[in-house]
Amino acid sequence: MNPTEIINQLKSFCTCVEKATDEDIAELVNVISIATCWMQKPCETFLYGDRREIIELPPCADCPIEFEPFYHPFDVDTFEFSLVTVSGIEETITPITEFAYHESDEAFHIIPGIPSCKCGCSKNCGCPTEYKMIVRYKAGYEVIPDCLLPVFCNVLEVIHAKNECNCCGDCGCEAQTEQDIKYASGDVTSVALETEIGKMLVEDYKDMIGMMSLCGQPRDLWGMVV
């Protein structure tokens, strides 16, 4: 997908990072994609685009199989299924045409066209043949959900600040060694409260980004693949 729409979306919403570059936003997309397990292969991101899965199938089947796409959100109308038959060194790929999407379990029910188990595959039929299914479809985000924009802006702000000062020698960046907020002498309560709220916000941000995670449970994001 062309990320232009998301770039414009972030530049429009993230007014606190007016100087953010397209490179900053590209890095943001990659960082979030790694953290949420969207990057299953090099340079894959959460942006809407082509996906492919290869599924191992049993040597025989009498009933439809169920397939739940790994990538989501997905476009139901873009799914294409193919049966791969491997016999010795020969590989044959044929389209699968009998399938239906069930909204009740958000899964596809597929008749892949492999032999019935009634023949006794293990001995009587020999069954040296292996079967796999290739699934191609489109999935991902065309725009960032509105509820996640504030989190993305904060992450973008950090990335932009890092890149702005990412150079050798003195590039004019001032180290932030003091708090911008000043407290009255002895006001330990406010300091402790600010620290705790900061920790809470970090956890809340993890949960919010976890809404688009493929890692499993929302708390399992930051690169833990299941």
Q: Higher-confidence residue: 188 or 108? A: 108
- In this predicted model, what pLDDT tens digit does every residue of 33-90 receive, in sequence order? 998 999 998 889 999 999 999 999 988 888 899 999 999 999 999 999 999 999 888 8
Which contacts (CB < 8 Å, 24+ apart) does range 20-24 have? Answer: 20/156, 20/157, 20/159, 20/160, 21/160, 21/163, 23/163, 24/156, 24/159, 24/160, 24/163
- In this predicted model, what pLDDT tens digit does every residue of 161-178 receive, in sequence order? 888 776 555 555 555 444
Q: Where are the domains of the chain?
A: 1-48+140-166+201-226, 51-139
Could you say which DSSP state residue 11 is in?
H
C-alpha atoms less than 13 angstroms from C-alpha of 56 in its C-beta half-sphere: 1
Distance CA 124, CA 150 (A): 62
- In this predicted model, what pLDDT tens digit does every residue of 86-133 receive, in sequence order? 988 889 999 999 999 999 999 999 999 888 776 555 555 555 789 999
